[in-house]
Amino acid sequence: MAKGSMFVGMDVHKESIDLSIAEEGRDGEVRHYGVIPGDLEAVAKVLRALRAPNRRLRFVYEAGPCGFGIHRYLTDQGEECIVVNPSSMPTRSGDRIKTDRRDGDALARLHRAGELTAIYIPMPEDEALRDLVRAREDAVGLSTQAKHRVKAFLLRQGRRYPGRAGWTRVDGVPRPRPFGVLQRAQRSTGRDRQSGQSPRAALAGGSRVGVSGRTAHRAANALPTRRVAEDRV
């Protein structure tokens, strides 16, 4: 006895899956099955409930951020499942109402009519390589943005680099030296370390670096931050 087909449309989201069922035949009933959690355990329960000796299940859902875990699980269980591109879904003119239930119904109905084209499902190894490439592209983009912010900050401070390769070591080009007050303060703190006096206490006095007490106090408070900024540049 030939098995009849049941078409199951799944509108997949992070937390939930909206299920719709279309019976075989042009005039077959299309009904909403329900909403289940968006994990494989819930999909397994639905699979056990819909299975029957004389029934062939045919699943379909749209590609999205949830990946292809559901497809791989269903195919491993011996069921037919396809994934379609959301942009290739046929739409009726003037049909602007979009809900999860209507999307599930449309998937089941269109899959029964044979109007959906499955996309290529990458192997887990291929998908891992894609993730690695995307992660590298994201890291390069973030690094470029950070460099632009640092360059803009230095430009506002009047620090202009004459070359083009601003982020590589160039032989013969000295590193930017600190500003005058801070430079003198650093030399003084070096002498104070030898004498056993704390650098911040020495800077607070101001007389050892040849500047006023207020200026020395500002240099003392800014010393750790300025050192970190210069080391990063």
pLDDT, tens only, 83-103: 999 988 887 766 667 788 888
Count Cβ atoms below 10 Å from residue 56 Cβ, excluding itself: 15
Is the model's pLDDT at 166 over the cut of 90? no
Distance CA(52)–CA(15), nearest Å, equals: 28
Best-predicted range by mean pLDDT among 45-59, 158-172, 211-225? 45-59
**Residue 121, class by beta-carbon neighbours within 10 Å (0-12 exposed, 13-18 middle, 19+ buried)?**
middle
Distance CA(189)–CA(199), nearest Å, equals: 5
Lowest-pLDDT range of 7-11, 44-48, 96-100, 180-184: 180-184
Is the model's pLDDT at 17 over the cut of 90? yes
Q: What is the pLDDT of residue 171?
A: 55
With tokens 């992070």, the residue in question is 14
Q: What is the pLDDT of residue 75?
A: 95
Q: What is the pLDDT of residue 47?
A: 94
Share of the chain above pLDDT 90, in %: 48
- The gap from C-alpha 30 to its chain's centroid, in whole angstroms, comes to 37
Q: What is the pLDDT of residue 183?
A: 54
The tokens of 69 are what?
A: 């875990």
Within 13 Å, how many C-alpha atoms sit on residue 154's CB side? Answer: 18
Q: What is the pLDDT of residue 142?
A: 95
Which is higher by pLDDT, 83 or 205? 83
pLDDT confidence tier of residue 128, bands split at 50, 70 and 90: very high
Q: What is the pLDDT of residue 201?
A: 52
The tokens of 191 are what?
A: 């002498």
